[in-house]
Structure 1
């Protein structure tokens, strides 16, 4: 009996021990499973957080583009002399050119957020597209997956930023004759009046172009406003800028003619009345002090990205000026020696109606078919300036010219300032 009880007790203890060991093993297994599950959950949560972060970044980018949140101050601040401290004023919240272009690509490919410019560590390459090379002007080389027929509005790679009444419209017109250049006819004024609009709006103001073409936008008031130049730099610090100047006295005459050409003669002041018996320094500084504004451009952009031209040179002979711009913009040679002829009646060069490029001129430019000349505002009659008053103007403006020539490292031969002795 005792032996039987002892045997049963031993069996019971063995069973308990077995069950205990089994419980420990189950506990350990459960613990391992729980740890694995927690680790998996952690990884899953991390992935979800990363995805949410990506979504949040993309949504933030959308909001930034829609808000166009830049520092206020779109007013004309050209009277201020300070050219320093601008970097702190550039708003980091303003969407960049690459952002809008990438979003445009995402929209056209059906891939939302195809590349998030804020995610610099993981640039997105759509599997449906082959990466293509891109030069300093933003022109992408054509690949089998991006044919030259891919025509759509693109953000500008170059800007004509000044000066008003210095031939900016004629220069834009002449540049668009080149088959690799497109440009909106009207001044968009995005960086002055409409900077609060999204970059997508700006892009849609551009004419359709292929990836091999350069889009140029012209707004001559850009150079007059510090904040506009800073917005341009924020938009694309590698953008190419073209500035065209003019004989300052001729520019004053052109400005006068433009302001009063539509008014009745009895209500139109004379040129001297308009400028003042003693030439108004403020008006002269605004219209003739080119160096002051170009220096601000140089403070933001390398000189190699800025081309300074003279309207007087373009009027005397447009072809060398256009070839200089062609080289600056890295365009293939296209301007021919027979493009222009001098019109004795108008007093300036017009398109040669016999030129091989004239058919393209008719497609793109509003010209008179018979003469190939630009519209009626071109060549508007300028007011005459009396000798003594002209001497006073020259004496006042000449130091400003010398400042310009020293700054840009070249001289322009302006008729009013030639040494005729």
Structure 2
């Protein structure tokens, strides 16, 4: 009988010693499942945000760019991470165009500025997602403090007829940016982004961005940026200049500035 009791105690101890491992394994499995669900949900939301069938600037190999941009913004915002006064605000400035005019580069240059917070991907709210409402739009924006300017960029706004009135309905004070001007002056920003924020990449042939205050690795624009321009017949170029000349003159008069494009 004594031998039987000893054997039962031995078996019980041996079995019990495995219980924590089984529980831990079960917990880890649930955690992994939850992480997978969250990741899939996050990717689904991002795909919805970047559902731009005709926008090369925000699809395909731009995914790596968007992810690295998000990390760069997070790194720059760590000092205000615990600031309870930060909140999500509708943008006070929007880069509306033009397509392939350097809007991505401009956005990245502006995001180096400590007074700017901007969403990296193109929301396409005022042209494709307007029916989702302003609260949906606000949730896409990064958190910012009262003194920071919230921005986004979607170049197709420039060619969408309904966009101006829709933006005006949101706020008549929102500044619209078309790439061709001294944007820091237009936005009233203090001049803090200098040559120390740029690192020339000989392979790409143009400067990449860096944050000297955190000694971060330089962040370059995606593979679709900095492509070599094709050679165009001079006669074709002259034909285009003649065609656009009256429109350029009208634009010079409207802005009060001659850009010398003729």
Query: Normalising by structure 2, what TM-score?
Result: 0.61
Q: Report Cα offsets for 1:247-298 as digits up to 9, x if no partner.
A: xxxxxxxxxxxxxxxxxxxxxxxxxxxxxxxxxxxxxxxxxxxxxxxxxxxx
Q: Structure 1 residues 349, 198: CA separation in 2 closer, same or farther (over 3 Å shift)?
A: same
SS of the aligned residue for 1:215 comes to strand
Q: CA deviation at 1:336?
A: 2.3
Question: Do the aligned residues in 2 keep the contact of 1:339 with 1:357 (CA within 8 Å)?
Answer: no
1:166 aligns with 2:22: no
Given that residues 177 and 357 in structure 1 are in contact (C-alpha distance below 8 angstroms), is that contact kept between their aligned partners in structure 2? no
Q: CA deviation at 1:194?
A: 1.2
Are residue 356 (structure 1) and residue 212 (structure 2) matched?
A: yes
The answer (yes or no) to whether the contact 1:148–1:212 under 8 Å persists in 2 is no
C-alpha displacement at 1:155, in angstroms? Answer: 1.2
**SS of structure 2 residue aligned to 1:189:** coil
Shift of 1:166: 0.7
Q: Which moved more, 1:175-184 or 1:218-227?
A: 218-227
Q: 1:211 aligns with which of 133, 146, 152?
A: 146
Between the aligned partners of 1:402 and 1:344, the Cα distance in structure 2 is: 38
Whether 2:196 is the aligned partner of 1:335: answer: no
C-alpha contact (below 8 Å) 1:339/1:358 kept by paired residues: no
State which structure, 1 or 2, has the greater radius of gyration over its C-alpha atoms: 1
Structure-1 residue corresponding to 2:136: 201
Alignment partners' CA distance in 1, 2:257 and 2:214: 33
Corresponding residue SS for 1:196: helix
* Residue aligning to 1:382: 229
Whether 1:236 aligns to 2:203 is no
Shift of 1:216: 0.2
Distance change (3 Å), C-alpha of 1:205 and 1:225: same
CA RMSD across the alignment: 2.5
* Corresponding residue number in structure 1 for 2:117: 182
Superposed displacement of residue 390, structure 1: 2.4
CA 1:396–1:207: 2 relative to 1, 3 Å: same
Provide the aligned length of Structure 1 versus Structure 2.
181
2:252 to 363, 385, 405: 405
| Alpha-carbon distance in 2 for matches of 1:377, 1:212 | 34
Unpaired runs of 5+ in structure 2?
1-81
**TM-score, normalised via structure 1 length:** 0.39
Give the Å deviation of 1:389: 2.2
Say whether the 8 Å CA contact 1:148–1:211 is kept in structure 2.
Answer: no
Going from structure 1 to structure 2, the CA distance change for 1:155 and 1:334 (only over 3 Å counts) comes to same
| Counterpart secondary structure, 2:249 | helix
Once superposed, which parts of structure 1, at least 4 consecutive aligned residues long, lie more than 4 Å away? 341-345
CA deviations 1:26-76 (Å, max 9, x no partner) are: xxxxxxxxxxxxxxxxxxxxxxxxxxxxxxxxxxxxxxxxxxxxxxxxxxx
Cα distance change, pair 357–378 in 1 and its aligned pair in 2 (3 A): farther
